[in-house]
């Protein structure tokens, strides 16, 4: 019997519409706080900026950039910056909202923020990317600050871009401000363990879910969509704990080996060849067949809306742990629930990155840095504690893990909103 409403969103719904339906599903479980639920449906502020730069050939190019604060009731805005040719305001709004839910679900003292520039970074030289990053940082500088808005890496950005952002902000305010971004290089106040934190968190939460259903990680099969920072870190974590990673895809193609793919070897190949296509120790398979492979764990670690009503029925995994943000549509969620697939939602599964970002932020403020072993230990404690709280609500209310995560998070956000009241 269904415990949640059927989705009426079409396959062409944007990320913001998907987020709004996810909120609607949680409202019946909020009790007295439901009166504040509209707060979750409205971004606090949206900034759209023009980002003009000089190209290497002397011409001027203009790019559109965004920075969104969804909710700051529990603390400063926190969220990444992505560079992608298909970045839209709807996407950035949804990503900021998912950050609000994610930070609250994990218990971090942040609100939700997100940024992006509509650009194909592969078409820009390193010097052009630096000018783009510095100009974008200056344009959104009215929102930034270690106690106001703290960006981090996301799709197609890395510690390099964070170094440029931190330096640009520091030059504009006249002092070194390492706490204005996270995901920085270690030499500039970055944290050990940050680079692999999101993928490590995917493994931690997937393993926690497996324990709940009596499934062991060792000897299990794993399929991973996306072999960027998150996907390859998750692949290595599963591999290190005795699982067989049998299929991996990226933008160049997909490869399969039932005996297992060594992610360390594949990563070396990708660094040389530019993608997984042509990897000699696995067979090529069509991208569309990836989700149909029988497996214990499926890790979507690419972009939004990858698991839809069109392909969810083909999935033959026992556990899906969402490494990407918003990879599953509400309609697909309903199908997966009927099939008995355990879906560990993005707001818990990929929260490892923002959790270690929080550790980095705290270390920057204190100018005292922890060992990687201590960071990984703290990360596991935070994520397992968050997962346990969500699982308890999931069992008590007989709702999906996603809706349970939203119940936990929305309750925390709206309690803060109610206690703060309205000014004036």
Residues carrying an active site annotation: 114
What is the four-CA torsion angle of 279, 283, 284, 290, rounded to 10 degrees?
-110
Q: How far apart are CA 263 and CA 222, in angstroms?
A: 11
CB 187 within 8 A of CB 284: no
CB 369 within 8 A of CB 187: no
Alpha helix segments (H runs only) across 214-351: 229-240, 263-273, 330-339, 346-349
CB 110 within 8 A of CB 77: yes
Q: How far apart are CA 82 and CA 256, in angstroms?
A: 29
DSSP at 311:
T
392 dihedral zone (left: phi>0; alpha: psi -120 to 50; beta): alpha
Question: Taking Cα atoms as reference points, which of 365, 357, 322 lies closest to residue 341?
Answer: 322
Q: How far apart are CA 48 and CA 58, in angstroms?
A: 25
CB 78 within 8 A of CB 95: no
CB 41 within 8 A of CB 22: no
Q: How far apart are CA 275 and CA 336, in angstroms?
A: 30
């Amino acid at each position: 019997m269904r415990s949640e409403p059927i989705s009426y969103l079409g396959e062409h719904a944007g990320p913001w519409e998907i987020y709004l339906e996810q909120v609607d599903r949680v409202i019946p479980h909020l009790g007295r706080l439901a009166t504040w639920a509209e707060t979750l449906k409205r971004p606090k502020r949206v900034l759209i900026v023009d980002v003009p730069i000089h190209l290497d050939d002397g011409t001027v190019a203009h790019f559109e950039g965004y920075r969104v604060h969804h909710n700051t009731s529990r603390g400063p805005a926190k969220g990444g910056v992505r560079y992608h040719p298909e970045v839209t305001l709807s996407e950035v709004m949804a990503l900021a909202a998912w950050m609000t839910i994610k930070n609250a679900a994990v218990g971090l003292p942040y609100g939700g923020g997100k940024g992006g520039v509509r650009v194909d970074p592969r078409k820009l030289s390193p010097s052009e990317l630096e000018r783009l990053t510095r100009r974008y940082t200056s344009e959104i500088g009215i929102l930034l600050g270690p106690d106001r808005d703290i960006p981090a890496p996301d799709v197609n950005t890395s510690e390099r871009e964070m170094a440029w952002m931190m330096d640009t902000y520091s030059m504009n305010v006249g002092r070194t401000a390492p706490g204005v971004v996270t995901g920085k290089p270690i030499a500039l106040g970055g944290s050990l363990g940050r680079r692999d934190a999101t993928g490590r968190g995917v493994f931690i939460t997937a393993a926690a879910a497996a324990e709940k259903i009596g499934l062991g990680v060792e000897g299990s099969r794993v399929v991973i969509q996306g072999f960027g920072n998150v996907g390859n870190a998750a692949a290595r974590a599963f591999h290190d704990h005795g699982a067989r990673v049998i299929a991996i895809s990226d933008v160049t193609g997909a490869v399969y080996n039932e005996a297992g793919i060594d992610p360390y070897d594949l990563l070396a190949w990708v660094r040389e060849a530019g993608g997984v296509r042509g990897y000699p120790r696995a067979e090529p398979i069509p991208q569309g067949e990836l989700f149909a492979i029988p497996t214990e764990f499926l890790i979507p670690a690419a972009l939004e809306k990858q698991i839809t009503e069109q392909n969810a029925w083909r999935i033959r995994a026992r556990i899906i742990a969402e490494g990407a943000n918003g990879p599953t549509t509400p309609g697909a969620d309903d199908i997966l629930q009927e099939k008995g697939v355990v879906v560990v939602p993005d707001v818990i599964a990929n929260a490892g990155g923002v959790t270690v970002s929080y550790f980095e932020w705290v270390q920057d403020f204190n100018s005292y840095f922890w060992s990687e072993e201590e960071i990984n230990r703290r990360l596991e404690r935070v994520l397992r504690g968050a997962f346990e709280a969500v699982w308890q609500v999931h069992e008590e209310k007989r709702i999906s893990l996603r809706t349970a995560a939203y119940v936990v998070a929305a309750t925390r956000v709206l309690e803060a909103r109610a206690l703060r009241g309205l000014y004036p």
